């Protein structure tokens, strides 16, 4: 007989996917998240399949990055090689560190990836494209399980398939805009992770899946967001919420969460998110304008 006990929140590791089209900022966003979670650039390890583009982000004063651990992953992009790199990275950063796999898409549709493996299996006698999936799927499952079972935090990036849509620009003209669709990976792979961020070409991220506190959040990913996630995962406690709208109080990129809380309590007597603070500021200016007009 199976015994059940009362559930409690427990300390856990981050399992994050970052998806988006080319140029959305997946790599830099992942580095910011990793640094915020680890608190030390030396505990962030980047596995780079993007022809060593990850080197461009190292120790940049303009981007406020430091010197992280780094290893380029070249073809073949087989599940076995990914697993080898991930396990080595986990040893290098330790339990409090962060592994970034940039990108996880290569393990699916590039040389030596799962689709390649499926094609090779299908060529065997008695096999075809349909029956080959049973065996190829085991390679994929083993890779995903290896990623999710390392004792440190894990972030993976995935490219999204591209499409174009017509949108009105600021001049009222219809122009083609590049948009991202489904990630380049096995269907629903993004849902294996606790958080999946979708980033657009303007670098604005929004969770398509979240098991933490990012309900309704959208914005540019910063190290402060990583720090907040680390605090949530470590303590198992809910983050501060706005007294008026009930949403999680997030950094706005210029102020930390604590600075926002301290400022709102000082000025309004309660902890408020920046959105609600701005509403109050706008209302006060409107009232002032009406008083002057009278």
**Confidence band for 207, pLDDT divided at 50, 70 and 90:** very high
The proportion of the chain whose per-residue pLDDT surpasses 70, expressed as a percent, equals 93
Alpha-carbon span 61 to 143, nearest angstrom: 35
Q: What is the pLDDT of residue 129?
A: 78
**Confidence band for 294, pLDDT divided at 50, 70 and 90:** low
Specify the pTM.
0.78
Q: What is the pLDDT of residue 178?
A: 60
Average pLDDT on 191-217 reads: 90
First to last CA, the chain: 77
By CB atoms closer than 10 A (0-12, 13-18, 19+), residue 127 is middle
DSSP assignment of 228-248 equals HHHHHHHH--PPPB-TTT-PB
**Confidence band for 182, pLDDT divided at 50, 70 and 90:** confident
Q: What is the pLDDT of residue 29?
A: 96
262-281 pLDDT, tens per residue?
A: 999 999 999 998 889 998 88
Judged by DSSP in three states, 294 sits in coil
Q: What is the pLDDT of residue 164?
A: 67
Helices (H), the chain: 26-38, 79-93, 106-109, 114-122, 132-149, 223-235, 257-268, 274-293
C-alpha distances in Å from residue 167, one per residue of 171, 177, 191, 202, 277: 11, 7, 29, 14, 32
What residues pair up with 162 in beta bridges, in sequence order?
Answer: 180
CA 5, 7, 10, 16 dihedral sign is positive
Average pLDDT on 276-289 reads: 84
Alpha-carbon span 104 to 76, nearest angstrom: 13
- pLDDT over 60 (residue 180): no
pLDDT averaged over every residue in the chain: 88
- pLDDT over 80 (residue 133): yes
Alpha-carbon span 32 to 16, nearest angstrom: 13
Q: What is the pLDDT of residue 53?
A: 93
CB 224 within 8 A of CB 36: yes
- pLDDT over 90 (residue 157): yes
Half-sphere exposure of residue 111, counting CA atoms within 13 Å on the CB side? 5
Average pLDDT on 80-94 reads: 96
């Amino acid at each position: 007989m199976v015994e059940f006990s009362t559930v409690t929140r427990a300390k856990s590791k981050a399992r994050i996917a970052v998806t988006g089209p080319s140029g959305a900022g997946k790599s830099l966003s992942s580095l910011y998240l990793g640094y915020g979670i680890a608190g030390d650039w030396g505990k962030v390890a980047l596995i780079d399949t993007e022809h060593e583009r990850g080197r461009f982000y190292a120790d940049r004063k303009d981007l406020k990055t430091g010197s992280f651990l780094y290893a380029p992953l070249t073809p073949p992009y087989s599940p076995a090689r990914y697993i080898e790199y991930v396990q080595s990275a986990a040893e290098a950063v330790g339990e409090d560190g962060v592994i970034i796999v940039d990108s996880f898409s290569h393990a699916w549709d590039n040389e030596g990836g799962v689709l390649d493996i499926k094609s090779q299996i299908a060529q065997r006698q008695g096999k075809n494209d349909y029956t080959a999936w049973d065996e190829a799927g085991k390679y994929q499952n083993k890779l995903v399980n290896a990623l999710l079972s390392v004792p440190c935090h894990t972030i993976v990036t995935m490219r999204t398939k591209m499409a174009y849509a017509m949108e009105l620009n600021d001049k009222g003209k219809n122009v083609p805009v590049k948009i991202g669709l489904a990630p380049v990976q096995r269907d629903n792979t993004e849902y294996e992770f606790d958080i999946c961020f979708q980033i657009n070409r303007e670098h604005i991220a929004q969770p398509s899946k979240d098991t933490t506190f990012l309900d309704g959040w959208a914005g540019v990913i910063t190290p402060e967001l990583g720090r907040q996630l680390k605090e949530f995962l470590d303590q198992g406690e809910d983050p501060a919420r706005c007294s008026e709208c009930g949403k999680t109080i997030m950094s706005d990129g210029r102020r930390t969460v604590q600075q926002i809380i301290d400022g709102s309590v000082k000025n309004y007597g309660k902890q408020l998110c920046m959105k609600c603070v701005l509403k109050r500021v706008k209302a006060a200016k409107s009232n002032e304008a009406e008083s002057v007009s009278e």
